[in-house]
Structure 1
Amino acid sequence: MDAVALAGTVPAFLGVVLLIAATPGPAMALVVRRAALRGTGAAVPTVLGLEAGLLVWALLAGAGVAAAVAASEVAHLVLRVAGAVVLLWLGGRALWRAGRGGGEAPVPGGGGAGAGAGRRAFGEGLLVQLANPKLAVFMVALYPQFVPAGSDPLPAAAVLGLLQVAVETALYLGLAVGVGRAGTWFRRPRVGRGLDAAAGTVLVGMGLRVAVTTR
């Protein structure tokens, strides 16, 4: 890997990644909801799960697997259906909680989450990323543009993936801190139900969009 040539592409890569990371999507919806209802500390496992999934896709892109998934109609269909199911399931749960008056008990003062809740939050974030067909297409379309010609794509993709993980982790943790500081307001029953309803609507809408979008 030509480290010098790769370093020259990093500023442009980080600019693109920052713009994409700041765009609202299912990842941001999960982080906001978690931080609002459970506190900043409880959002950390969600962020780590999301970024672990992103790094997996980056490595798969470098190994050529993501390109194969993006090119294969069958693989893309399977991943698209899985992604739609995951998003619809998460969104449906949030809407169900909103309808019944709140299911996940808010933590007074933002006390974080226990080990079991942390593992579930990590798994939820990881699952959302791994079942995201748009992420596979994104990696295939974006990463090769910043890999110097003649470089081994796997280590280059690993470096770019780690950089993207660093940018997104900082952004999402900053978002979690900001939302967590307003936790007392968010944890009011009426506001919590509204947040569940909003997050559920976003996730269901994105799930339906994934389901009907072929590419």
Structure 2
Amino acid sequence: MSTAAFLAVALLHLMAAISPGPAVLMSARTGVIHGFRAGLALAIGIGLGGVIWAAAALFGLALLFEIAPNLLIALKILGGLWLLRMGVKMWRSADAPLDLDAGTACAPRFFQAMRTGLWVQLANPKPAIMFSAIFVGTVPQGASWVVFAMLLTVVFLNETLWNAFVARVFALPLARRSYMTVRTAIDRAFGGILCALGIKIAST
């Protein structure tokens, strides 16, 4: 695999990771409510989920979806329903009293937050199709395991570092104070967007 092709894959995936979606949304909310440590754990889980989808694409999951399209439909429905559930929960809790200091102190444990990030990423099977489209024509047939390992490392770093950055920005004192002034509206907007994404994933 040429250096130019490798860099192209890395850049294309970085653009996909940066684009707004459930992962970025949850990173922002986790950072602002629970602080950077929980946001970092969430970002690591998101990175691991990205690696799982990328590895599946490298080993032919897109071809399996073509052979058994009902499998993709089932995964979309399950993932969409999970995101929809999270969005409804976020919407309903928008009016509940919130103490950010208590939120930080009662933040989910590291592995609990990481698991949430993993599920957020796995709830959307579309990355497997996206990765397949990126890898076709850039990853040569018969590429060595070293190439695969490097690609998966880039996917992990792109997903983890970007979402950790988002969590860090929203965990800053100014961002947290600003959030508290319009918290109900933001949480309802976040919940609504998450519900819309869940419906979109399940129905397309």
TM over 0.5, yes or no?
Answer: yes
> Could you list the per-position Cα deviations for residues 101-151 of structure 1 after superposition, in whole angstroms to 9, with x for gaps in the alignment?
25x753369558352xx3332222111222212112112211233212432
CA displacement at 1:88 relative to structure 2: 0.3
1:88/1:203 contact within 8 Å kept: yes
Q: Does 1:164 align with 2:155?
A: yes
CA RMSD of aligned residues (A): 2.3
Amino acid at match of 1:44: L
CA displacement at 1:66 relative to structure 2: 4.2
| Identical counterparts, % of pairs | 26
Return the match for 1:126 from 112, 118, 127.
118
TM-score normalised according to structure 2 size: 0.87
Return the match for 2:197 from 206, 210, 213.
206
TM-score normalised according to structure 1 size: 0.83
Amino acid at match of 1:144: V
Within 5 A, what are the aligned runs for 1:70-85?
71-85=67-81
Report what 1:46 is aligned to. Answer: 42
Instruction: Work out the CA distance in 1 between the residues paired with 2:60 and 2:147.
Output: 12
Instruction: Work out the CA distance in 2 between the residues paired with 1:123 and 1:109.
Output: 18
Instruction: Work out the CA distance in 1 between the residues paired with 2:34 and 2:175.
Output: 8
Return the match for 2:96 from 95, 98, 101.
101
Distance of aligned partners of 1:155 and 1:132 in 2 relative to their CA distance in 1, 3 Å threshold: farther
Gaps of 5+ in 2: none
1:83/1:210 contact within 8 Å kept: yes
Amino acid at match of 1:123: R
Within 5 A, what are the aligned runs for 1:1-215?
5-69=1-65, 71-98=67-94, 100-102=95-97, 106-107=100-101, 110=104, 113-115=107-109, 118-152=110-144, 156-181=147-172, 182-186=174-178, 188=180, 190-213=181-204
Gaps of 5+ in 1: none
Q: Deviating runs (4+, > 4 A) in structure 1?
A: 108-112
